[in-house]
Amino acid sequence: MSAPLLDVQNLRVTFPTLQGPVEVVRGISFQVGRERVGIVGESGSGKSMTGRSILRLIRSPGTVTADRLRLGDTDILTASDRDMRAIRGRRISMVMQDPKFSLNPVMTIGAQIGEALTVHQKLPRQAVRRRVHEMLEAVRIRDPERVFGLYPHEVSGGMGQRVMIAMMLIPEPDLLIADEPTSALDVSVRAQVLQIIDDLVTRKGMGLIFISHDLNLVSRFCDRILVMYAGEIVEQCRASELGKATHPYTRGLLASVPRLNETRAELPVLDRSAWSVA
């Protein structure tokens, strides 16, 4: 593994409730280099909160603490809001789950992608337009000239997701966080969107944090996997060795997925009392 891009030590995210504070991320530590790391877990396991806290997107009353949260030589915990704005997009960017809710409905696609670039650097308009075109081609949009002038409601979900990827990658960040980037998409376009992310990440030598609830998908796509349960990392392994995972939670998750060639009469269900989280 190369020198870590991102270094997280003892990260905690807490929200106050009427019953007292609830810790949704409970002291997790990991490092990400220029590699593909998958974070897997069920809803409520804290995987998305981990992704958001790296970009410092958790708002008050939620609080984030850590012994260390560094991106290269920048300390994310103490950076000013202005510094954070320079980091978001330029150095770390995030692809969200659903393009329907993440794209601006009243801006054309070309203008939105261009904005992601001009926020961070001054460029002549022609150059911006050219870069946007190249980026649209890179995410395999066949007719960039036409798509440039369309609004988000005029494109399909799969195309919307590719537009979002284009927008996130145009400032050429060091680290991409993809939070369930394909779960709102059809199986038929899922493979293509993953392929595009994979190509661009490898070509530009970026780091990738891939957040998903789908263990098998993550194991095909990433180098390393962190399994989260109830705010903690319960297991870490190389993606290729997922089959040898030992934690009962990981094994339970793996077993509960139906297969294309299914012969079991009943699917095994997670028995949550089989293990305990301290």
Amino acid letter, 7:
D
Distance between CA 35 and CA 239 in Å, rounded? 12
Q: What is the DSSP letter of 134?
A: H
Based on the shown chain and the rule CB under 8 A, indicate whether residue 17 belongs to the binding site for other proteins: no
Among 175, 200, 215, 245, binds other proteins (CB under 8 A): 215
Based on the shown chain and the rule CB under 8 A, indicate whether residue 259 belongs to the binding site for other proteins: yes
Dihedral of CA atoms 92, 98, 104, 108 in degrees, nearest 10, equals 100
Residues 34-53 that bind other proteins (CB under 8 A): 42-43
Minimum CB separation of residue 210 from other proteins in Å reads 13
Minimum CB separation of residue 157 from other proteins in Å reads 7
Within 13 Å of residue 124, how many CA atoms lie on the same side as its CB?
Answer: 3
Among 4, 33, 248, 252, binds other proteins (CB under 8 A): 252
Based on the shown chain and the rule CB under 8 A, indicate whether residue 19 belongs to the binding site for other proteins: no
Name residues whose C-beta falls within 8 Å of residue 76's C-beta, 6 or more positions apart in sequence: 54, 56, 69, 70, 84, 87
Residues 137-166 that bind other proteins (CB under 8 A): 156-157
Specify the residue, 66 or 96, whose C-beta has the smaller distance to other proteins: 96
Distance between CA 197 and CA 162 in Å, rounded? 9
Chain-centroid distance, C-alpha 178: 2
Minimum CB separation of residue 181 from other proteins in Å reads 12
Which residues make up the interface to other proteins (CB under 8 A)?
A: 42-43, 156-157, 182, 186-191, 194, 213-217, 220, 252-253, 256-262, 264-270
